[in-house]
Amino acid sequence: MLLNPAASVRGEKYQVVEGKTPEISIEQARTLIAGIRLAMTLRNGDSVRDIVGLRDRAIIGILIYTRARASAVAKLQFRHFVHDGALWSLRFIEKGGKSREIPVRHDDLEKFIAEYINAAGLRDAPSDSPLFRSAPRRGRRLTTNRISNVDICRMVKRRLVDAGLPSRFSPHSFRVTTLTDLLSGGVPEEDVQYLAGHADPRTTQLYDRRQRRVTRNIVERISV
């Protein structure tokens, strides 16, 4: 056919103004971290650090405090946890092969990562070895293999259930919460966009849940 008969037909205009990823609240995120078991009791009654629990707390802390994707966290190696003489940073390899370095919060996240590394005996691990390692199912030991993106997603789901939180949340929910919290705190949108690694500001706006909160408050005021 020389001409497409459907070429002149105008389709329905569809515009996405908000992403579909559910937002986990600040209180729920704190509950999740606080509910992770960090010690376990042996048969002889002795108490030791729970390596898997320390690992999971460090991973969830990174998801919250750096807004990194689970896939980028899974790719972390020891050489990506760097110190410049003043502070620690994490260098992420993200979508499209882009490399981004995000500072590590000193009061909490730095502690989470350090405690995990020390308890797992990984302080002298080779620089190209995985920072976060997998664990056998229902096991409390770590393997030498890198944890996968799927493993992180499943781990987050398990930790949500253990904490009594909705299982509909995902690792990406922390990304929504972090970006919305920064925007609510008055951080300029262009700075939040840079932290998120978004090339288009409209992508950052999809993570903004401030309008949903306003709408929820308005709905509650309906007198019917």
Which residues are catalytically annotated?
69, 95, 172, 175, 198, 207
Per-residue model confidence as pLDDT tens for the chain (224 residues): 778 888 777 766 544 445 577 888 889 999 999 999 888 776 777 778 899 999 999 999 999 888 888 999 999 999 999 998 889 999 998 777 778 888 898 889 999 999 999 998 888 999 999 999 999 876 678 999 999 999 999 999 999 999 999 989 988 888 888 888 788 788 787 777 777 667 777 766 666 666 665 556 666 776 66
> In this predicted structure, what is the pLDDT of residue 199?
72
Task: Provide the whole-model pTM.
Answer: 0.78
CB count, 10 Å around CB of 215? 11
Domains of the chain, each with CATH number or no CATH: 26-212 (1.10.443.10)
